[in-house]
């Protein structure tokens, strides 16, 4: 069974190696401040990616994450202007995310539409709604936002585990429990491994599909809430392209795009690797921003080839 | 973590030995918006070139137009313990948190280009940027002089609500209002684009019977003016000869038009502004003297070789 953990181990190893390399290359890199920043600055995208992990393990895809993050921010900023407390609007948006996801899951299952297409429609729809509401950035002025950013746990060595990072870690624990200790979690892996067998084995297909996308919608809305509080504003262009970063985090984390195999914890490290690359390039300070994407792309490529090799040689994939 | 400390120490020592660079060199982090358009890449390149001249160790970060990348970059600068941070913000909102982190770390922050919307103004030292209002006034003053204070003007406005559009219009009107015979007879938004400028000028040409009685065209940027020149030529008019055309930016295409005499004047929005920004930052690092909230970069005006009258 330990082969199952190989991709996850590889992901963690890459993170550790990159972090040590950064420490060797740049002064002030080896610090809890940098580590805390990587967790806090990428928390919103990792939260959304955790939700996507379930979708991808089930063999589906969700492309509406980035637009959801932007939409949540814009609505929260406008509700703030209307006098709502950020926590109230956050709760509303998380309920909206769950409802939106349930609807997407229902359309996928009932109308037998490819998740790619329906979530692509969601991407355009939600982004369009952002522009309908606002064209400019709207600040969230409630003092709670600054209080939220001041919350957190100081780490030894001058670092800081910010409230965004704490929300992310709680979201991770909940997701790990859902994935590995619930019937629903097993059903997700079963559908992703082999949908036909899962059906024959009596896995409730519709209920599970609905729940998978509801979960993804909830997590991407939560990611949007964290992003809105993190930037203390709603900006209609926020989060564009982040769905692909989320998918990249999931894949770097060792989840197979074909479904059936993957770990939520891997996604966290996948997202942190991407954040670490951005930090390394910022520390270097003479490389073009394009290098963030180039090195992310290269790593992604290497990982996919490596997974392919692992799957082919070790045959640990369920049902194959 | 002991290992990490040991490693940090060793690495730091080794890098000092290896680099052999002057340890007192000032390190500045500069977070740029991205590389859209003509102006911004030129601005970035100038900042890097000027830093070399000044002997500054510049950490340059391109945010690719994304706020979250910019926040990451500024936090990386703080973690690196740079001496100062310069930000050209992607958006005006969402800065309070990270600027407070910079302040806690004792790192002064300077703004270039756009302003930020924060309640605590002490979070930034100053803003060093061009003055859109002055650009408008320069354009107005040039037109007043060239037309000897008698001119019916059509105006191509920038994007409605955008700061450069608002300020350039205000500045232009502040000057032209001094001359009772200068009147803005038509004014519409061309969205700062060449197509927008062309469309608006086509409409003006129709509604004024081939610009009868019009003597001047003021465009809030060169791109719109270039579109307007196209529209005028297509209608058989002679821009630059029968009309005074003044705009702002001084982009390369406008240089050509000025050389050909099809445009009359353009106010330069400088991209080589490192030489204005770095001295302010370096002086502040030395004497910590309080600076005005906004340090304006002077503008320049270029006109056609043989201005018509």
Q: What is the pLDDT of residues B119-140, one digit of tens each?
A: 899 999 999 999 999 999 999 9
pLDDT band at B20 (very low <50, low <70, confident <90, very high): very low
Note whether A227 contacts B59, CB cutoff 8 Å. Answer: no
A223 touches A65 (CB < 8 A): yes
pLDDT band at A97 (very low <50, low <70, confident <90, very high): very high
Note whether A28 contacts B76, CB cutoff 8 Å. Answer: no
| A-to-B residue pairs, Cβ atoms closer than 8 angstroms | 113
Please tell me which of A43-52, A144-153, A297-306, A307-316 the model is most confident about, judged by mean pLDDT.
A43-52
pLDDT at site B22:
46
**Structure tokens that stand for B250 in this block:** 């001084």
Note whether B94 contacts A33, CB cutoff 8 Å. Answer: no
pLDDT at B4 over 70: no
Scan for tokens 């001041």, then name that residue.
Answer: A150
Looking at per-residue pLDDT, the higher value among B304 and B10 belongs to B304
pLDDT at A316 over 60: no
pLDDT band at B261 (very low <50, low <70, confident <90, very high): very high
Task: Place domain B132-269 in its CATH homologous superfamily.
Answer: Response regulator (3.40.50.2300)
Looking at per-residue pLDDT, the higher value among B93 and B21 belongs to B93
DSSP structure string for B42-66: HHHHHHHHHHHHHT-EEEEEE-TT-
SS3 assignment, position B89: coil
Chain A contact set for B61 (CB, 8 A): 281-282, 285, 289
pLDDT at site B10:
46
Note whether B79 contacts A28, CB cutoff 8 Å. Answer: yes
Note whether A30 contacts B4, CB cutoff 8 Å. Answer: yes
pLDDT band at A156 (very low <50, low <70, confident <90, very high): confident
Provide mean pLDDT across the span B50-77. 93
Interface confidence: ipTM more than 0.90:
no
pLDDT at site B24:
64
pLDDT band at A2 (very low <50, low <70, confident <90, very high): low
Percentage of chain B beyond pLDDT 90 is 73
Across chain B, mean pLDDT equals 89
Instruction: Examine domains B25-124 and B132-269 and report if their fold is the same.
Output: yes
Cα radius of gyration rounded to whole Å, chain B: 23
A252 touches A273 (CB < 8 A): yes
A interface residues, B as partner, C-beta within 8 Å: 20, 23-24, 26-31, 33-34, 37, 41-42, 44-45, 136-139, 146, 149, 156-157, 227, 230-233, 235, 238, 275, 278-279, 281-286, 288-290, 292
pLDDT at site A313:
59
Provide mean pLDDT across the span A63-72. 97
Domains and CATH numbers, chain A: 2-314 (1.10.3470)
Give pLDDT tens digits for A184-211.
999 999 999 999 999 999 999 999 999 9
Chain A contact set for B80 (CB, 8 A): 26-29, 283
A23 touches B1 (CB < 8 A): no
Note whether A146 contacts B96, CB cutoff 8 Å. Answer: yes
Give pLDDT tens digits for B198-225.
999 999 999 999 999 999 999 999 999 9
Provide mean pLDDT across the span A42-66. 96
> Considering only CA atoms, which of B52, B109, B106, B47 is closest in space to residue B81?
B106
pLDDT at A308 over 50: yes
pLDDT at site B93:
87
Note whether A31 contacts B71, CB cutoff 8 Å. Answer: no
pLDDT at B276 over 60: yes
Give the span between the Cα atoms of B231 and B227, in whole angstroms: 6
pLDDT at B16 over 60: no
Min distance B48 CA to chain A CA atoms (Å): 9
pLDDT at site B7:
47
pLDDT at site B17:
42
Note whether B79 contacts A31, CB cutoff 8 Å. Answer: yes
Give pLDDT tens digits for B219-248.
999 999 999 999 999 999 999 999 999 999
Min distance A99 CA to chain B CA atoms (Å): 27
Residue among A41, A233, A238 whose CB faces B72 most closely? A41
Residue among A42, A231, A285 whose CB faces B94 most closely? A231
Which chain A residue shows the shortest CA-CA distance from B58? A285
Min distance B71 CA to chain A CA atoms (Å): 8
**Structure tokens that stand for A115 in this block:** 């998740």
pLDDT band at A293 (very low <50, low <70, confident <90, very high): confident
Residue among B34, B68, B76 whose CB faces A279 most closely? B76
Across chain A, mean pLDDT equals 91
Scan for tokens 């972090």, then name that residue.
Answer: A19
pLDDT band at B181 (very low <50, low <70, confident <90, very high): very high
pLDDT at A247 over 50: yes
Question: Which helix (H) or strand (E) segment is B218 a member of?
Answer: strand B216-219
**What are the strands, taking DSSP E only, across A34-129?**
none
Provide mean pLDDT across the span B62-91. 92
Provide mean pLDDT across the span A101-126. 95
Give the span between the Cα atoms of B51 and B36, in whole angstroms: 22
Min distance A119 CA to chain B CA atoms (Å): 23
Chain B contact set for A227 (CB, 8 A): 68
Angle between helices B222-234 and B252-260 in degrees, nearest 10: 40
> Considering only CA atoms, which of B106, B131, B82, B71 is closest in space to residue B293?
B131
Min distance A320 CA to chain B CA atoms (Å): 41
Residue among B7, B58, B75 whose CB faces A30 most closely? B7
Note whether A24 contacts B59, CB cutoff 8 Å. Answer: no
Note whether B91 contacts A157, CB cutoff 8 Å. Answer: no
DSSP structure string for A179-198: HHHSHHHHHHHHHHH-HHHH
**Structure tokens that stand for B296 in this block:** 């304006």
Chain centroid to Cα B254, Å, comes to 17
Chain B contact set for A44 (CB, 8 A): 68
Note whether A24 contacts B1, CB cutoff 8 Å. Answer: no
Domain limits, chain B:
25-124, 132-269
Q: Is B192 left (phi over 0), alpha (psi -120 to 50) or beta?
A: left
Choosing among 1.10.10.60, 3.40.47.10, 3.40.50.2300, 1.10.357.10, the CATH entry for B25-124 is: 3.40.50.2300
Mutate which: A29, A157, A285, A288, vs B, most B CBs within 10 A: A285
Least confident interval from A116-130, A238-252, A305-319, B32-46: A305-319
Give pLDDT tens digits for A7-44.
888 899 999 999 999 999 998 899 999 999 999 999 99
Give the span between the Cα atoms of A35 and A31, in whole angstroms: 7
> Considering only CA atoms, which of A60, A36, A75, A54 is closest in space to residue A239?
A75
Give the span between the Cα atoms of B94 and B66, in whole angstroms: 12
Provide mean pLDDT across the span B88-102. 90
B167 touches B199 (CB < 8 A): no
Scan for tokens 């955008």, then name that residue.
Answer: B162
Which chain B residue shows the shortest CA-CA distance from A284? B59
B228 touches B201 (CB < 8 A): yes
B304 touches B265 (CB < 8 A): yes
DSSP structure string for A101-168: HHHHHHHHHHTT--HHHHHHHHHHHHHHHHHHH-SS-EE---THHHHHHH-EEEPTTS-EEEHHHHHH
Mutate which: B13, B56, B61, vs A, most A CBs within 10 A: B61
**Which residues lie across from A245 on neighbouring strands?**
none
Mutate which: A37, A49, A77, A231, vs B, most B CBs within 10 A: A231
SS3 assignment, position B266: strand
pLDDT at B11 over 50: no
Residue among A37, A45, A288 whose CB faces B79 most closely? A37
């Amino acid at each position: 069974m330990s082969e199952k953990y190989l991709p996850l181990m590889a992901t963690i190893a890459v993170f550790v190696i990159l972090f040590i390399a950064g420490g060797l290359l740049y002064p002030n890199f080896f610090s809890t401040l940098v580590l805390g920043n990587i967790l806090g600055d990428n928390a919103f995208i990792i939260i959304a990616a955790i939700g996507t992990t379930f979708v991808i393990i089930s063999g589906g895809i969700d492309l509406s994450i980035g637009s959801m993050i932007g939409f949540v921010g814009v609505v929260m900023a406008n509700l703030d202007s209307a006098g709502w407390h950020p926590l109230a609007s956050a709760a509303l948006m998380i309920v909206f995310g769950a409802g939106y996801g349930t609807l997407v899951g229902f359309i996928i299952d009932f109308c037998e539409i490819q998740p790619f297409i329906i979530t692509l429609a969601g991407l355009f729809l939600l982004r369009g709604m952002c522009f309908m509401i606002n064209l400019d950035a709207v600040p969230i002025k409630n003092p709670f936002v600054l209080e939220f950013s001041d919350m957190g746990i100081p780490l030894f060595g001058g670092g800081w585990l910010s409230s965004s990072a704490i929300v992310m870690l709680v979201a991770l624990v909940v997701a790990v429990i859902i994935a590995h200790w619930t019937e629903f979690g097993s059903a997700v892996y079963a559908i992703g491994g082999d949908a036909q067998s899962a059906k024959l084995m009596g896995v409730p297909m519709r209920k599970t599909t609905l729940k998978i996308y509801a979960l993804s919608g909830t997590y991407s809305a939560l990611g949007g809430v964290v992003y809105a509080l993190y930037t203390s504003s709603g900006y209609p262009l926020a989060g564009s392209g982040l769905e692909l970063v989320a998918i990249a985090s999931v894949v770097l984390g060792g989840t197979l795009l074909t479904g059936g195999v993957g770990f939520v914890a891997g996604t966290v490290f996948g997202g942190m690797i991407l954040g670490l690359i951005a930090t390394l390039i910022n520390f270097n300070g003479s490389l073009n921003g394009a290098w963030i994407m180039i090195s992310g792309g290269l790593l992604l490529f290497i990982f996919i080839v490596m997974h392919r090799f692992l799957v082919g040689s070790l045959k640990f994939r369920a049902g194959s | 973590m002991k290992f990490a400390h040991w490693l940090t120490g060793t690495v730091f020592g080794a890098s000092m030995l290896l680099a052999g660079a002057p340890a007192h060199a000032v390190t500045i982090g500069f977070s740029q918006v991205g590389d859209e358009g003509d102006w911004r890449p030129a601005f970035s390149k100038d900042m890097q070139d000027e830093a070399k001249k000044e002997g500054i160790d510049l950490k340059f970060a391109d945010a690719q137009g994304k706020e979250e990348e910019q926040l990451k970059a500024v936090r990386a600068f703080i973690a690196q313990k740079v001496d100062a941070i310069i930000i050209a913000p992607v958006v005006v909102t969402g800065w309070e948190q990270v600027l407070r982190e910079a302040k806690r770390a004792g790192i002064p922050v300077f703004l270039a280009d756009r302003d930020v919307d924060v309640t605590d103004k002490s979070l930034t030292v100053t803003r060093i940027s061009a003055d859109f209002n002055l650009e408008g006034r320069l354009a107005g003053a040039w037109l007043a002089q060239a037309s000897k204070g008698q001119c019916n003007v059509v105006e191509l406005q920038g994007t409605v609500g955008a700061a450069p559009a608002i300020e350039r219009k205000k500045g232009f009107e502040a000057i032209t209002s001094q001359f009772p015979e200068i009147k803005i007879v038509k004014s519409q938004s061309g969205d700062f684009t060449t197509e927008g400028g062309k469309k608006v000028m086509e409409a003006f040409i129709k509604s004024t019977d081939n610009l009868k009685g019009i003597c001047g065209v003021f465009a809030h940027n060169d791109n719109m003016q270039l579109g307007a020149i196209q529209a005028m030529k297509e209608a058989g008019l002679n821009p630059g000869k029968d009309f005074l055309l003044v705009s702002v930016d001084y982009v390369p295409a406008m240089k050509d038009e000025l050389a050909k005499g099809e445009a009359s004047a353009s106010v330069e929005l400088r991209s080589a502004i490192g030489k204005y920004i770095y001295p302010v930052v370096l002086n502040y690092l030395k004497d910590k003297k309080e600076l005005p909230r906004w340090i304006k970069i002077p503008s320049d005006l270029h006109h056609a070789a043989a201005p018509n009258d």
